[in-house]
Amino acid sequence: MKKKATYLSRIEWELMKICWDKGKTTAKVIHEESLKIKERGYQTIKTMLDRMAVKGFLERERFGPVWLYKPTVSRSKGTMKEIGDFVNLVLDGSHLALFEHFLRSTDKDSEDFKTLKKMIRDFEKGKLESTFTLDSEPVTTTETKQKSAAPRKRTTTRSKGKKSK
């Protein structure tokens, strides 16, 4: 039996952002909004939305002749999960490259930089209360740390028809 995918492709992320912005809406509205990003056929978008529902990121509901789609995960939780997966898969669980990228690409007078400095000071004092939020549902940093603490094992798959030696 095939394992259910727990990740989104780049195109699916674009569609998720639209779904988060629109809330419960039709494939037609999502398709029209997606045309601002890239030209794709309606049926292509509809197929992607159906696959995202199978993956568990969207909920489908029949409303007369149309299907309504609604996110099942908040923007904050989805983003934090993706960051944790990236750190584990690409950076082997180390956050150093992520922070170095942040430091090299951020102005030291920016609000992001000031907030990060405060978060580090609070963390050192053992009272980190800052949260990351992109929507009404904040995700605490301790919750994120617990979910992304264990690095994922890397696996390789063979294509059908090839035999291993």
CA–CA distance from 161 to each of 23, 59, 157 (Å)?
A: 43, 36, 12
What is the arithmetic mean of pLDDT over 105-122? 89
- pLDDT tens for 131-149 read 556 665 555 544 334 343 4
Report the domain count for the chain.
2
Structure confidence at residue 119 as a pLDDT band (50, 70, 90): confident
Whether 153 is covered by a domain: the verdict is no
Whether 23 is covered by a domain: the verdict is yes
Identify the domain boundary among 46, 71, 96: 71
- pLDDT tens for 22-45 read 999 999 999 999 999 999 999 999
- 87 and 136 together in one domain: yes
Of the candidates 51, 60, 59, 57, the one whose C-alpha atom is nearest the C-alpha of residue 77 is: 57
Distance CA 122, CA 4 (A): 39
Identify the domain boundary among 40, 71, 102: 71
pTM, two decimals, is 0.69
Whether 160 is covered by a domain: the verdict is no
- 31 and 79 together in one domain: no
SS (H, E, C) 70-104: EECCCHHHHHHHHHHHHHHHHCCCCCHHHHHHHHH
- 39 and 88 together in one domain: no
**Nearest 5 degrees, angle CA 117-CA 136-CA 76?**
60
Whether 163 is covered by a domain: the verdict is no
Domain enclosing residue 133, as ranges: 75-148
- 122 and 144 together in one domain: yes
Q: Given a cut of 70, is residue 152 above it in pLDDT?
A: no
- 118 and 143 together in one domain: yes
Q: Given a cut of 90, is residue 19 above it in pLDDT?
A: yes
- 22 and 87 together in one domain: no
- 57 and 85 together in one domain: no
**What is the domain-level CATH number for residue 51?**
1.10.10.10
Whether 2 is covered by a domain: the verdict is no
Phi-psi region of 128 (alpha: psi -120 to 50; beta: other; left: phi over 0): beta
